[in-house]
Structure 1
């Protein structure tokens, strides 16, 4: 197979979020073959990396927009039948904001607080026990 001619497809599939296994299936090869290509064909590995970088960047931008809020335009039809553009605002999404903060500033916004546990030897003396029953 001439994989060099398919680098654009591979990059696009990775950009669309496909896994290596799915890309291998699309190319009609095993995942093992795909791994060998990544090791032995620098252009193939570059296509995989480039597609993933674009996808990661788009996801980061989408998360950022949802976390801080954003303006967008929407077309609507008036009562008279005219199509007009309306500017709307999507408020910040608290879940997206929390997720972003926990991942970008984990030292400041983590769920679990780590506590240092120190070993202490404590001796407990219990007096004589008498069972009268």
Structure 2
């Protein structure tokens, strides 16, 4: 009996390869192409075989965390050290300089809108209840015209 293609992808080395592709940012469609199957088949494998699903989740989680950390670092600003070689009378020397990257307001806005949408989203849902007092309630249009003309 022929072995199904999915079985080879349940082997530890193939699961590691799936995880690496996901970590490298490949989409499910690109991963399916690399395997030699269509996207729907990969979706079915993910539903049926938890090892395949877990390998892809682990790979994606690693890169998601790295991106989150980079966004947070950019939002808060950071310092880094830069090393430069310079020629002096005594020969070449390495000079260390500490540089600063200022906090990025765009990254801060993006972070807050996504992490705290209840406080930072652009559109707010306001609910109003009760009656609005209408000073012209019960007054006809003709009466309003008379009032305006008499002023």
2:55 to 47, 50, 55: 47
Residue in 2 that maps onto 1:127: 142
Which of these two proteins has the greater Rg computed from alpha carbons? 2
Q: Which has the higher contact order (CA 8 A, sep 6+)?
A: 1
Q: How many pairs are equivalent?
A: 129
**1:1-133 mapped onto 2 (5 Å cutoff):** 1=5, 2-4=8-10, 5-80=13-88, 81-116=92-127, 125-127=140-142
Q: Distance in 2 between matches of 1:44 and 1:72?
A: 39
Distance 1:84 1:41 in 2: 55
Paired with 2:48 and 2:96, the residues of 1 have a C-alpha distance of 52
Structure holding more helix per residue: 2
TM-score by length of 1: 0.82
Unaligned runs of 5+ in 1: 129-133
2 CA distance for matches of 1:123 and 1:29?
72
Change (3 A) 1:102 1:124: farther
What's 1:131 paired with? none
Shift of 1:17: 1.6
